[in-house]
Amino acid sequence: MAGLEVINEKVREASAFIPSLKAEIGKVIVGQDYLIDRLIIGMLSNGHVLLEGVPGLAKTLTVNTLASAMETSFQRIQFTPDLLPADLIGTLIYNPKDGDFFTKKGPVFSNIILADEINRAPAKVQSALLEAMQEHQVTIGDETFHLPEPFLVMATENPIEQEGTYPLPEAQVDRFMLKLNIDYPSRDEERKILARMAHTSTNIEVSPVITPATILEARKAVDEIYVDDKIKEYILDIVFATREPEKYNLDIADYLRYGASPRATLALTNGARAHAFLQGRGYVTPQDVKSIAPDILRHRIIVSYEAEADELTSDDIIEKLLSEIPVP
């Protein structure tokens, strides 16, 4: 028990920056607590985030504000059908003066990347970005370059404009730790947005309150957060129930084409730890797992045609899993 108290104390100290970070972001962003929490969880877990929502829900603004509050470098890359991998990672340029090539690094060499409308770019560009996400390095010519740490990709998808898009293959979507569905603000929140933003110039200063070093230190504390064996079994039950639902007496086999991959197990554990960290707690509870599970599983569960015919989404299946699998 003494060990747990030590971890609790470490986590309380390491997470002291969270309120000031949220307050700084709150100067610009109204509401969107779910989005902000999940972006911080992605940052703490060294995992990338896919955002889906209609235009105008402050996805880009939130990511930009987060980067400004963190003293990190930020690049927004607008993905278009004519984008090339070299536009993203960089290329070799010939210098006629000395007859040699020099490396021009691309915008991917930043701490936080916003890949806007990622599904508008062709597969080659998506692959180049996803390789950088996975390996935290890129190769230009014969040389390999490491990307700065922390390195976080937040990609946006537009759910309603399907024309001119290249859907991300399941294997590539799986590289994103979290997929968030961003919804409209409430009426009260929109009233506050109106009061704050309905001016021809809205220049709100955001001060950096933490450094990249703070995030890297916080990650060490997240890694130390205690996960009981019963919680680990609970995480495995959730993931395996997406692959073998009949073993868990779940009547959803006809609705599933593919279950979650082992990446889901790792992401659930790390995400639950980061969720506990946000609460200033040194141990994971089943509620941490349940809170983060929809964001980690919704893009990893591929539903069947029967599910689509019955108008069931992966979120509906996750809800059923979480309500029926026994909680430790």
Q: What is the pLDDT of residue 293?
A: 92
**231 falls in which pLDDT band (50, 70, 90)?**
very high
Q: Which domain holds residue 296?
A: 226-321
> Both ends of the chain: CA-CA distance in Å?
19
Query: Stretch 20-31: mean pLDDT, rounded?
Result: 80
| Any domain includes 106 | yes
| Domain CATH for 50 | 3.40.50.300
Quick one: 172 and 97 in the same domain? yes
Q: What are the phi and psi torsion angles at 84 (to 5°)?
A: -115, 155
Does the pLDDT at position 161 exceed 60?
no
Quick one: 232 and 193 in the same domain? no
Taking a C-beta distance cutoff of 8 angstroms, is the pair 288, 275 a contact? Answer: yes
Quick one: 35 and 180 in the same domain? yes
Query: Stretch 152-166: mean pLDDT, rounded?
Result: 71
Quick one: 176 and 235 in the same domain? no
Q: What is the pLDDT of residue 257?
A: 85
Structural domains in the chain (count): 2
Quick one: 166 and 65 in the same domain? yes
Q: What are the phi and psi torsion angles at 127 (to 5°)?
A: -65, -40
DSSP for residue 225: S
| Any domain includes 210 | no
Where do the DSSP E strands lie in the chain? 49-52, 74-78, 90-95, 100-105, 112-116, 137-140, 143-146, 152-157, 178-181, 256-258, 302-303
Phi-psi region of 327 (alpha: psi -120 to 50; beta: other; left: phi over 0): beta
Does the pLDDT at position 25 exceed 90?
no
Round to whole Å and give the CA distance between 236 and 268: 9
Quick one: 47 and 153 in the same domain? yes
Quick one: 50 and 181 in the same domain? yes
Query: Stretch 292-296: mean pLDDT, rounded?
Result: 93
Per-residue model confidence as pLDDT tens digits over 142-154: 888 898 888 889 8
Those residues with Cβ within 8 angstroms of residue 200's Cβ, 6 or more apart along the chain or in another chain: none
| Any domain includes 6 | no
| Any domain includes 158 | yes
| Any domain includes 18 | no
Round to whole Å and give the CA distance between 178 and 267: 8
Alpha helices (H) in 179-285, listed in sequence order: 187-197, 212-224, 229-243, 262-278
**1 falls in which pLDDT band (50, 70, 90)?**
very low
- Cα angle 205-210-215, degrees, rounded to a multiple of 5: 140
Query: Stretch 263-269: mean pLDDT, rounded?
Result: 92
| Domain CATH for 275 | 1.10.8.80
Neighbours of 195 (CB within 10 A): 10
Kind and range of the H or E element at 61?
helix 59-69
| Any domain includes 9 | no
Q: What's the whole-model pTM score?
A: 0.86
Quick one: 157 and 253 in the same domain? no
Quick one: 182 and 64 in the same domain? yes
**247 falls in which pLDDT band (50, 70, 90)?**
confident
Quick one: 40 and 161 in the same domain? yes
Does the pLDDT at position 138 exceed 80?
yes
| Any domain includes 207 | no
Quick one: 50 and 166 in the same domain? yes
Q: What is the pLDDT of residue 229?
A: 92
Round to whole Å and give the CA distance between 183 and 223: 31
- SS3 of 137, please? strand
| Any domain includes 215 | no
Residue that is last in its domain, among 157, 182, 197 = 197
Residue that is last in its domain, among 150, 180, 197 = 197
| Integer CA distances (angstroms), 145 to 17, 91, 109, 110, in order | 31, 12, 9, 12
Query: Stretch 188-201: mean pLDDT, rounded?
Result: 72
Quick one: 89 and 173 in the same domain? yes
Per-residue model confidence as pLDDT tens digits over 92-121: 888 888 878 788 888 899 888 898 888 888
Q: What is the pLDDT of residue 297?
A: 92
Across all residues in the chain, what is the average pLDDT?
Answer: 84
Query: Stretch 217-237: mean pLDDT, rounded?
Result: 91
Per-residue model confidence as pLDDT tens digits over 208-223: 888 888 888 899 989 9
- Which amino acid is residue 293, in one-letter code? A
Query: Stretch 234-255: mean pLDDT, rounded?
Result: 86
Q: What is the pLDDT of residue 57?
A: 66
Round to whole Å and give the CA distance between 77 and 126: 12
Query: Stretch 181-186: mean pLDDT, rounded?
Result: 76
- Closest of 197, 163, 168 to residue 52, by C-alpha: 168
Round to whole Å and give the CA distance between 30 and 193: 6
Per-residue model confidence as pLDDT tens digits over 47-97: 899 988 777 666 777 888 888 888 888 888 888 888 888 888 888 888 888
Tokens matching residue 249: 């007496």
- SS3 of 143, please? strand
- Which amino acid is residue 30, in one-letter code? V
